[in-house]
Amino acid sequence: MPETHELVLTISHPNGLHLRPAALFVRTAAHFHSAITVRNLSRIESHSVDAKSMFGLMQLGVAEGHQIELHSIGVDATAALLALQQLVASDFEEQP
Amino acid sequence: MIGMLIVSHSRKIAEGVQELAEQMGQQQVLIRAAGGMSDGTLGTSAEVIHAAATQLGSTPIDGLLVLLDLGSAVLSTEMALEGFAKPFVISDAPLVEGAIMAVIEAAIGGDLERVAAAAERTKTLRKLLG
């Protein structure tokens, strides 16, 4: 049974969602079957991108302090956003 | 998993891009550098590229994405990969940006088409956002 889930997170990493943090974000998102999109609420012109696309995340220009809105739909939608929430909360510590 | 080959006129550039991409891919993606001539001078060498490609070809990769810098790198790579046993794509993408996007796609299990597309899209990547 597909579920949908939404979440707003604040990025506190000094590099924002760039390179290493973005790579970890994509890799975490890719573990899940659900479709996950991200939007940067701190940029007016920002559109939604695929959370499993590094290129998409780069286009969001997420800097330190920016808020991102996540939306997921699928069988593991809630678990997916929980994992991303934990990644952001850990300030992108290396995952084992 | 897709492997990657980094071709540059400079050994240091090729090895530097390899280092960066390996870190971004958390060492999960096989990457080889083929930069400079066999004596370490600047230039591209079909021989150097062939040796690196052969190494990758003997691993269990499903395909190979080749990223390169400019000019003769294309010709040398085409010569070096003639008869390469696995599917490969020579990318038109910018070297550094392409390598980073490609390695992430490869690390999450993208096939050759997806990995090549991830690199290719960097042609329109904006670095400076208002």
How close B111 comes to chain A (CA, Å)?
Answer: 14
> pLDDT at residue B120 above 60?
yes
Q: In sequence order, which residues have a C-beta less than 8 Å from that of residue A36 and are 6 or more positions away? A: A29, A50, A51, A52, A70, A71, A72, A77, A80, A81, A84
Structural domain spans, chain A = 3-89
Query: Position of tokens 């939306």?
Result: A71
The pLDDT of B102-122, averaged and rounded, is: 96
Query: Which one from A18, A33, A66, A71 is the annotated catalytic residue?
Result: A18
Q: In terms of C-beta density within 10 A (0-12 exposed, 13-18 middle, 19 or more buried), how is residue A34 classed?
A: buried
Query: A18 catalytic, yes or no?
Result: yes
Domain range summary for chain B, segments of one domain joined by +: 2-124
Tell me if chain A has a CB within 8 Å of the CB of B102: no
A48 within 8 A of A38, measured Cβ to Cβ: yes
Q: What is the pLDDT of residue A94?
A: 58
Quote ipTM for the complex: 0.76
Contacts of A45 in chain B (CB under 8 A): 130
CATH class of A3-89: alpha beta
Each of the 96 residues of chain A gets a pLDDT tens digit; together they read 789 999 999 999 998 998 889 999 999 999 999 999 999 999 988 799 999 999 899 889 999 999 999 999 999 999 999 999 999 999 887 544
| Residue-wise pLDDT tens digits, B5-49 | 999 999 999 999 999 999 999 889 999 999 999 999 999 999 999
Per residue in A69-96, pLDDT tens? 999 999 999 999 999 999 999 988 754 4
Compute CA distances A92 → A13, A15, A20, A74, whole Å: 8, 11, 8, 24
Segment B59-85 mean pLDDT:
96
Q: Which CATH number fits domain B2-124: 1.20.140.10, 3.40.50.920, 3.40.50.510, 1.20.1530.20?
A: 3.40.50.510
Q: Tokens for B96? A: 């550094």
CB distance A25 to A16 below 8 Å: no
Specify the DSSP class assigned to residue A93: P
Tell me which residue of B122, B59, B50 sits closest to B93, measured CA to CA: B122
Beta-carbon separation of A20 and B107 below 8 A: no
pLDDT score, position A96: 43
**Treating both helix axes as pointing N-terminal to C-terminal, what angle do B46-57 and B72-80 enclose, rounded to 10 degrees?**
50
Return the residue in B104, B122, B124 with the most chain A beta carbons within 10 A, the one to mutate for interface testing. Answer: B104
Q: Does B42 touch chain A (CB under 8 A)?
A: no
How many CB atoms within 10 Å of residue B115?
31
**For residues B73-90, average pLDDT:** 96
For strands A3-10 and B2-8, give the pairing.
unpaired
- Per the prediction, chain B carries an average pLDDT of 95
Interchain contact, B104 vs A20, CB within 8 Å: no
Q: Which helix (H) or strand (E) holds B114?
A: helix B112-120
pTM: 0.87
> Would you call A47 an interface residue with chain B, using a CB distance cutoff of 8 Å?
no
A19 touches chain B (CB under 8 A): yes
- Structure letter (DSSP) for residue B122: G
Contact A39, A11 (CB under 8 A): no
What's the pLDDT score for residue B130? 62
